[in-house]
Structure 1
Amino acid sequence: MEIAPNIHWLETSSNVYLIIDAPHVVLVDTGTPRQQDKIFTKLRQLSHQPTDLTHILITHADIDHVGSLAALYNTSGAQIMAGAASAQLISQGKSPQHMPMLVQWIIDTFMKYGAVPQEKISVFKDGETLPFLGGLQVLATPGHTLDHFSFFSPTAGVLFAGDAIDTRNGRINLTRPAITADKTAARHSAIRLLELSPAVIATGHGSPSTNHTSDQIMQLFNTLRQE
């Protein structure tokens, strides 16, 4: 589904997004393991081959966001871009710490994903601008996980929020506190993102928000400011 011009939503275990911005073909996040065929099928539907994928941007190193990264990289050779902490975790096939203790132990023990060598990952920093969508801003948004980043295109008005914001029951929300590493940081990160007044919020979970109003954004913004 096209959520904005040349930006396509693909619903897997978590949301992934394809940006067609010639000469670049960019994927934001990769879903759980074994999603690569679904992603490559979508690429072909958009008249592109797997090897046309030029970049893979990572919001954070949770298994449901990087599980298919190694398989996608091995086929496409795309440049992987992630924050420094995410890159370190990806090189070990490990998810960040943010779940309840028992669940986190299960993930750490039984749910590793295919690793990618750290030297194959290009590291971005807060405040950088990537050459996509007229300039894609890199925003450090820790909270849900401490390695979390989001991306915003002022030109397109599109925010790739990862798990800093989700949608539930048709409403924009913070990701649930029970799976958040630092609740105070999560609130500040969400405030930072809402201040951008994005026209489209491409969330990691739930349907992307394409028809919210400025009043709805301000309502959540004010609620978070008062907490």
Structure 2
Amino acid sequence: MIQRTPIFPGILELNFQAREVLGCNVYLIYDEDEWALVDIGYEETVDDFVEIIRKLDFPLSRCKMLIATHADVDHIQGLAKLKSLLKTTVTAHPNAVRPLAEGDTLWTLAEIEAQNLKLDMPKVEVEHQVTDGDVIKIGNLDVEVWHTPGHTNSQLAFRIGDVLLSGDNIYRDGCIGAIDAHHGSDIKAFLASLRRIRDSDVKWLAPSHGPIFANDKDFMNKTIDRVSGYLKMADFGTLAESWPLMDQWDEEVAAGKLPDGLG
């Protein structure tokens, strides 16, 4: 057995518990004799996480559910294997149901042809669908569900008291979850989710990658200001709302204007 080191009352993070980063952050929420997992990561590390759970003295038969923050392969490839081992159920947002049930390698980013990336994406059924405002009960613990789209359209976050398990919304270095049209990214929705987190009275953010950090308005504003600029950048293609350079080009073409010092 190993000693439990909660990051907050009723919450363990299994990489931190093992003193080794095995993959994405995996949160074990527990109260009384019930527990649940938020995310699991890749299939190859499932056995490692199960062994950690055993050593923490959590009976495998008392796992109430497996919860997916969203349907990206680095968070959920191991769901089918773990579900079979624990004989439990899966909970996710409605937008994650189809890609999980079909094992959609494109939507889950398990397949990126240009990078010669092709990972297995085992199919898994979602028994319970949750969305914004729902409450998941683990023992006597209330887990409040937030739908925070932007990174993907299925991105969920989970509030427990003063802490938000914040998924891929934002990390301690100010980075955010990858913006990619192939898995339902939306910059405007992302900004709304970031503002919601900033304006909440949540004190701590426990992300899906990297260390926990404080919910600081100045810090959040720096990221929000940067991401706001993405809406007017060609870098983000069809996810941007406009490209101001093209308006300038229209005017310069109509006026026959060349740069100063040229022509």
TM-score by length of 1: 0.82
Task: Report sequence identity in percent.
Answer: 24
Q: Is 1:112 matched up with 2:120?
A: yes
Partners of 1:98 and 1:39 in 2: CA distance: 22
* Structural mapping, 1:203-222, within 5 Å: 203-209=207-213, 212=214, 217-222=216-221
Q: How many residues align?
A: 212
One-letter code of the match for 1:124?
V
Higher RCO (CA < 8 A, seq sep 6+): 1
Q: 2:167 aligns with which of 162, 166, 170?
A: 162
User: 1:130: Cα distance to partner?
Assistant: 1.3
Other-structure match for 1:174: 176
Other-structure match for 2:74: 64
* Structural mapping, 1:113-152, within 5 Å: 113-118=121-126, 121-132=127-138, 134-152=141-159
User: 1:206: Cα distance to partner?
Assistant: 1.1
Q: Secondary structure at the match of 1:25?
A: strand
Q: 1:146 to 1:125 in 2, by over 3 A?
A: same
Partners of 1:108 and 1:182 in 2: CA distance: 25
User: 1:83: Cα distance to partner?
Assistant: 0.7
Partners of 2:53 and 2:133 in 1: CA distance: 30
One-letter code of the match for 1:138?
V
User: 1:115: Cα distance to partner?
Assistant: 1.1
Q: 1:98 to 1:55 in 2, by over 3 A?
A: closer
Other-structure match for 2:102: 92
Partners of 1:174 and 1:56 in 2: CA distance: 24
User: 1:134: Cα distance to partner?
Assistant: 3.3
Residues 98 and 181 of structure 1 are in contact (CA less than 8 Å); yes or no, is this contact kept in structure 2? no
Residues 41 and 78 of structure 2 are in contact (CA less than 8 Å); yes or no, is this contact kept in structure 1? yes
User: 1:95: Cα distance to partner?
Assistant: 5.1
TM-score by length of 2: 0.71
Q: Secondary structure at the match of 2:70?
A: coil
Partners of 2:72 and 2:120 in 1: CA distance: 10
Q: 1:49 to 1:96 in 2, by over 3 A?
A: farther
Q: Secondary structure at the match of 1:152?
A: strand
User: 1:98: Cα distance to partner?
Assistant: 8.2
Partners of 2:195 and 2:108 in 1: CA distance: 20
Q: Is 1:44 matched up with 2:54?
A: yes
Partners of 1:176 and 1:117 in 2: CA distance: 25
User: 1:30: Cα distance to partner?
Assistant: 0.8
Q: 1:163 to 1:173 in 2, by over 3 A?
A: same
Residues 91 and 116 of structure 1 are in contact (CA less than 8 Å); yes or no, is this contact kept in structure 2? yes
One-letter code of the match for 2:162?
G
Q: Secondary structure at the match of 1:4?
A: coil
Task: Please provide the CA RMSD for this pair.
Answer: 2.7
Larger Rg: 2
5+ residue gaps, structure 1: none
User: 1:207: Cα distance to partner?
Assistant: 1.3
User: 1:79: Cα distance to partner?
Assistant: 2.2
Other-structure match for 1:16: 26
Q: Secondary structure at the match of 1:159?
A: strand
5+ residue gaps, structure 2: 16-21, 229-263
